[in-house]
Chain A
Amino acid sequence: GAGVSQSPSNKVTEKGKDVELRCDPISGHTALYWYRQRLGQGLEFLIYFQGNSAPDKSGLPSDRFSAERTGESVSTLTIQRTQQEDSAVYLCASTPLAVSTDTQYFGPGTRLTVL
């Protein structure tokens, strides 16, 4: 079956512009995570969606970052007024259940470059 997909694969934008990143999880997966991976660093948790529950936004670095997910489908991560420090690979992962023993299935990522 299809895995997690993300679009675009690459995005170059100018400082101050807004960007929207998309994640299509595996069909039927309950939970969806967004991570940021800066060059040479590990994965930094951003936000977590679990079914119809309120999302865990504790990892969002500033109010310029927001994300939405409708039910158990597509999610979008929006970064407003982008800054150069936002340059990173943004990864999305989904899990079948919303439990901490689950395997995460990752998308290929979106590489964001802010000029």
Chain B
Amino acid sequence: AQSVTQLDSQVPVFEEAPVELRCNYSSSVSVYLFWYVQYPNQGLQLLLKYLSGSTLVKGINGFEAEFNKSQTSFHLRKPSVHISDTAEYFCAVSLYNFNKFYFGSGTKLNVKP
């Protein structure tokens, strides 16, 4: 069975500090990996995705994520956060050749001034 685990439900951080949001998955087949962001009172939107190739993926708003196959992880990072990054972040996986997406429980990033 496939599953996605986001280890931290909430991450408080001060403005301009670095942040890492953790995501681990389990799957017996190849996966594609996604991070979605939900800003307050808005719908989910894609932040970045890993399909193949370089394991370091860059997304919008200065975020990046690294796919680590051996550790089955896809952690999201940003070197310096801004107040406007306050949002909920969801990690998701889809299976190769199977159109279903599995989402983690989300991590609320709270950036403090």
A100 and B43 contact, Cβ closer than 8 Å, known pairs A41-B105, A43-B103: no
Interface residues of B, dominant DSSP = strand
A10 interface residue per 8 A CB criterion: no
Chain A residues with Cβ below 8 Å from B56 are none
The answer to whether B106 touches A100 (Cβ under 8 A) is: no
Chain A residues with Cβ below 8 Å from B45 are 106
Name the contact of A101 in the complex, choosing from B42, B51, B103 (C-beta under 8 A).
B51
The answer to whether A45 touches B101 (Cβ under 8 A) is: yes
Give the docked Cα–Cα distance between A15 and B98 (Å): 36
Name the contact of A48 in the complex, choosing from B90, B100, B102, B104 (C-beta under 8 A).
B100
14 pairs, CB–CB < 8 Å, chain A vs chain B: A31-B99, A33-B101, A40-B9, A42-B90, A42-B105, A43-B90, A43-B92, A91-B43, A100-B101, A101-B94, A102-B99, A104-B101, A106-B45, A107-B43
Interface positions of B (Cβ within 8 A of A): 4, 6, 9, 32, 34, 36, 42-46, 49, 51, 90, 92, 94-106
